[in-house]
Amino acid sequence: MRVIIFGAGGGVGSRTAAEALARGHEVTAVVRRPDSELPQGLAVVIGDAADPDQVARLSAGHDAAVSAVRAPTGREQEQVEATGALLKGAAASGVRLLIVGGAATLRVPDSGRTVLEDPRYIAEEWRAVAEASAAQHRLCEAEAEADWTYLSPPAVLEPGERTGRYRLGKDELLVAEDGTARISMEDLAIAVLDELEHPKHRRTRFTAAAA
Ligand SMILES: NC(=O)c1ccc[n+]([C@@H]2O[C@H](COP(=O)([O-])OP(=O)(O)OC[C@H]3O[C@@H](n4cnc5c(N)ncnc54)[C@H](OP(=O)(O)O)[C@@H]3O)[C@@H](O)[C@H]2O)c1
């Protein structure tokens, strides 16, 4: 497969790029700065995920696009704007788009509240980014043209170990017996590539958590 990754210089993006390369896919890494640290073997291009024309032009000829874009702290609204541009650009080029988004709109099993509404999972310092990810998810749900998939990580998504195991869910936060809801970025990258290779969640959201 030819896979293009927006935000390939970031935590999730670089691990997704490494996982795709390890599986033998051709990977185009879109970064905003040429000095981004990336795995060897990628085709690196400079581009802006917030520009729908650039998204369409760069993603043309690819089988799938992944967004691992995250706006800087204090500018969370840019996350929503970039999502709109990615959807528009993907619709124009016809590429399938998988967006690595946020946990905000997942439902918490024991309370029925969303993660965004549950202070056990969203500390005040994360509220702005969580609200942006909820808006990002709503944009996808309202999208009629692009072939999108929205992947909500659990509440905690951090660099860690590639265990090779994870469990899948839909709209509910996957909580472990010890009460945590987490996955490593390495295992999330496996879930991304599994979904690209064997699509099961077209035009819908899914979640993946540590097994
Ligand atoms: N529990 C959760 O729900 C949770 C936790 C963590 C992350 N996430 C989500 O996972 C995704 C990836 O997060 P991360 O931690 O990997 O982020 P990260 O390490 O901050 O990386 C984000 C990348 O996006 C790039 N970027 C930002 N705006 C861009 C644009 N307009 N065009 C092209 N590239 C752009 C950044 O490039 P620059 O260096 O040029 O700015 C950076 O390389 C985000 O959607 C984030 O919200 C969710």
Section 52-71 average pLDDT: 98
Phi, psi of 169 (to 5 degrees): -145, -175
Look at residues 191, 107, 205 and name the one whose alpha carbon lies nearest to residue 151: 205
State how many domains the chain has.
1
Distance 68 CA to ligand 1 centre (A): 5
- In this structure, what DSSP letter does residue 178 have? T
Position 35 scores a pLDDT of 77
Position 34 scores a pLDDT of 82
- Which range of residues forms the domain containing residue 61? 2-210
Pocket of ligand 1 (CB under 6 A): 6-7, 9-13, 30, 32-33, 48-50, 68-71, 82, 100-103, 133, 153, 155-157
Section 79-100 average pLDDT: 98
Section 103-115 average pLDDT: 96
pLDDT tens by residue, 161-198: 999 999 999 999 999 999 999 999 999 999 999 999 99
State yes or no: pLDDT of 48 exceeds 90: yes
CB 162 within 8 A of CB 187: yes
How long a stretch of residues is the chain?
211
* Contacts (Cβ under 8 Å, ≥6 apart) of 189: 12, 15, 16, 18, 19, 162
3-state secondary structure of 23: coil
Distance 67 CA to ligand 1 centre (A): 8
What's the longest Cα–Cα distance across the chain? 46
Distance 199 CA to ligand 1 centre (A): 23
Position 128 scores a pLDDT of 95
What percentage of residues in the chain have a pLDDT greater than 90?
A: 92
Residue of minimum CA distance from atom 45 in ligand 1: 101
- Domain of 118, CATH number, reads 3.40.50.720
Distance 201 CA to ligand 1 centre (A): 22
State yes or no: pLDDT of 25 exceeds 80: yes
* Confidence band of 39 (pLDDT split at 50, 70, 90): confident
Site to substitute for ligand 1 among 12, 73, 156, most atoms within 8 A of C-beta: 12
pTM reported for the whole predicted model? 0.97
Annotate 14-46 with b (16+ C-beta within 10 A) or e (fewer).
Answer: bbbbbbbbeeebebbbbbeeeebebbeebebee
Residue of minimum CA distance from atom 13 in ligand 1: 70
Site to substitute for ligand 1 among 46, 67, 70, most atoms within 8 A of C-beta: 70
State yes or no: pLDDT of 138 exceeds 90: yes
CA angle 91, 20, 100 (to 5 degrees): 50
Stronger pLDDT, 123 or 201, i.e. the higher one: 201
Residue of minimum CA distance from atom 1 in ligand 1: 155
* Confidence band of 38 (pLDDT split at 50, 70, 90): confident
